[in-house]
Amino acid sequence: MTSEAQAVTRTVAEVPLTRRFGVVWWGALLASGALVLLLGYTLVSVTLVGVGVWGINVPFVWGFDLINYAWWIGIANGASLFAAILVLRRHDLRTAVNRFAEGVAFFAVICAGIFPIIHLGRPWLFYWVFPYPATFQVWPQFRSTLTWDFWAISTHAIVTSLLWYVGLIPDLATLRDRARSRAVKRIYGVFALGWRGSVRDWAYHQRAYRLVAILVLPLILIMQSTVAFEFAVTLVPDWHETRQPLHFVATGLAQGLSIVLLVAVLLRWGLRLGPYIDEGDIDLLGKLVLASALVSGYLYLDEIVSALLADRIAQEATFNRLTGDYAGLYWTAIVYSILIPQLLWFEVARRSTLACVFVGFSIGVGIWFDRFSIIVGGLQTDYLPSIWRTYSPTLAETGLFLGTVGLFAALLLLFVRFLPVVSMFETRHDEHEEKSS
Amino acid sequence: MTERPYGIMAEFDTPDALMEAVRATRRAGFTRIDAFSPFPLPDLAEELGIRTSIIPWIAFVAALIGAGLQYGSQYWMNAVDYPLNVGGRPLNSWPTFIPSTLIVAILWAGAATLLGLLVILRLPRLHHPVFSAHGFERVTNDRFFLCVLGEDPLFDNGATRDFLEGLSPLAVREVPA
pLDDT classification of B112: cutoffs 50, 70, 90:
very high
Residues from chain A that touch B109, judged by Cβ atoms under 8 A, are 212, 215
Asked whether B144 and B35 are in contact (CB, 8 A), the reply is: yes
Pairing of strands B33-36, B144-149: antiparallel
For residue A437, what are the β-bridge partners? none
The answer to whether the CB atoms of A199 and B36 lie below 8 A apart is yes
Residue B55 has pLDDT above 70, yes or no: yes
Asked whether B4 and B176 are in contact (CB, 8 A), the reply is: no
Q: How far is B156 from chain A (nearest CA, A)?
A: 23
For residue B12, what are the β-bridge partners? B144
Asked whether A259 and A405 are in contact (CB, 8 A), the reply is: no
Of A159, A197, A199, nearest to B106 by CB-CB distance is A159
Average pLDDT, rounded, for chain B:
87
Average pLDDT of the segment spanning A317-338: 91
Average pLDDT of the segment spanning A170-190: 88
Q: Is the pTM of this model over 0.80?
A: yes
Residue A2 has pLDDT above 60, yes or no: no
Average pLDDT of the segment spanning A83-92: 76
> How many Cα atoms are found within 13 Å in the side-chain-facing hemisphere of B148?
31
Buried b (16+ CB within 10 A) or exposed e, B126-140: eebbbeebeebbbbb
- A253-272 pLDDT, tens per residue? 899 889 888 888 888 887 77
Buried b (16+ CB within 10 A) or exposed e, A371-394: bbbbbbbbbbbbeeeeeeeebebe
- Which residues 152-191 of chain A have a CB within 8 Å of chain B? 152, 154-155, 158-159, 162-163, 166, 169-170, 173-174, 176-178, 189-190
Of B48, B73, B124, nearest to A199 by CB-CB distance is B48
- B1-27 pLDDT, tens per residue? 467 788 888 888 888 888 888 888 888
Pairing of strands B171-175, B144-149: unpaired
A134 touches chain B (CB under 8 A): no
CA distance A242 to A181: 58
Asked whether A335 and A366 are in contact (CB, 8 A), the reply is: yes
CA distance A14 to A9: 8
* φ/ψ of residue A228, rounded to 5: -65, -35
- B120-175 pLDDT, tens per residue? 998 888 888 888 888 888 888 888 898 888 888 888 888 888 888 888 888 888 88
ipTM: 0.91
**Which pLDDT score, from 0 to 100, does residue A437 have?**
64
The dihedral region occupied by A245, where left means phi > 0, alpha psi between -120 and 50, and beta the remainder, is: alpha
B99 touches chain A (CB under 8 A): yes
Number of other residues whose CB lies within 10 A of the CB of residue B78: 24
- A112-169 pLDDT, tens per residue? 999 988 988 888 988 888 888 888 888 888 888 888 988 999 999 999 999 889 989 9
Residue of B nearest to A164 (CA): B114
The helix/strand/coil state of B3 is coil
Residue A333 has pLDDT above 90, yes or no: yes
